[in-house]
Amino acid sequence: MSRFRASAALTTGWRHFGFAVADGVATVTLNRPDKLNALTFESYADLRDLLVELPHHDSVRVLVIRGEGRGFCGGGDVNEIIGELLKMDAADLMSFTKMTGDVIRAMRECPVPIISAIHGIAAGAGAVVALASDFRVVSDSGRFAFLFTKVGLSGGDMGAAYLLPRMVGLGRATQLLMLGDTIDADTADRYGLASLRVADADLAAEVETLARRLADGPRLALSQTKSLLTRELDMSLTAATELDAMTQALLMTTKDHAEFHAAFNERRSPNWTGR
């Protein structure tokens, strides 16, 4: 066991979604297809905990989130979550809303690149999970709906009011979060929500190609790029360039940077080791 883990063992099984690792690529499969993979209290908690653990899995270099059946994720389960929330007091409600926010924060702070494979609906919390991913591969059937106002709640749920304007602009974000309308794959692509727009039949292959490219890439360089993208959202230019300079100087000491130089001169592809 790594000395950085001490006594705590990594979780070997997750009961509230499918989880598998193959050749550096971890896959979370939301597997309640009969309910459009709606999230429950337990699946939120498992996602939060997995994302905290994931950086300690030396074999994992990229995470793919996908949904089983007709869609990606229909959001929180109406009866298993909303029905239960109506019975809770303020303290328990705050615990729940903080937990959902913890999922999104963990996604952005996790150094592992995250890809969401979107087919069918990504609604409510499902749309925010997709939004918080580093890449969204969206197929023809893909649709997004930030439905929170339609259930009488704020559209700024789980960090959506922070992340969405930075991706699509304030005007589009206002429209999507206040009206809660469903947009199709073409509109999502035009707004800038889709990282890659593909045919339904090509979704799995395109996600695999992207995941493989990330998994085989320079691990430290990719993780630090993700970290800077997240950290610098609220920084001044002076602070951001200072952080860039320190990060770049540290990466210049790595074996991967030296490996690039050797590979360039030997006219071969670099053998990235993440060291």
Contact 156, 146 (CB under 8 A): no
- What is the Cα–Cα distance from 144 to 7, expressed in whole angstroms? 42
- Residue-wise burial string across 6-18, b where 16 or more C-beta atoms lie within 10 A, e elsewhere: eeeeeeeebebbe
Question: Distance (Å, rounded) from C-alpha 273 to C-alpha 177?
Answer: 42
The answer for residues whose C-beta is within 8 angstroms of residue 74's C-beta and 6 or more apart is: 35, 36, 37, 38, 121, 123, 124, 126
So what's the pLDDT on residue 1? 53
What tokens appear for 70 in the block? 């007709």
pLDDT reported for residue 254: 96
At which residue do the structure tokens 């066991």 appear?
Answer: 1
User: In this structure, what token pair is assigned to residue 198?
Assistant: 């593909």
> Tens-digit pLDDT profile for the chain (275 aa)?
567 777 888 888 899 999 999 999 999 999 999 999 999 999 999 999 999 999 998 899 999 999 999 999 999 988 889 889 999 999 999 999 999 999 999 999 999 999 999 999 999 999 999 999 999 999 999 999 999 999 999 999 999 999 999 999 999 999 999 999 999 999 999 999 999 999 999 999 999 999 999 999 999 999 999 999 999 999 999 999 999 999 999 999 999 999 999 999 999 999 999 99
- Please tell me the predicted confidence (pLDDT) of residue 10: 87
Is residue 145 within 8 Å of residue 181, measured between CB atoms?
A: yes
For residue 260, what are the contacts with CB-CB under 8 A and spacing of at least 6?
218, 270
Distance separating alpha carbons of residues 157 and 108, to the nearest angstrom: 15
- What domains lie within the chain, and their CATH numbers? 18-215 (3.90.226.10), 219-266 (no CATH)
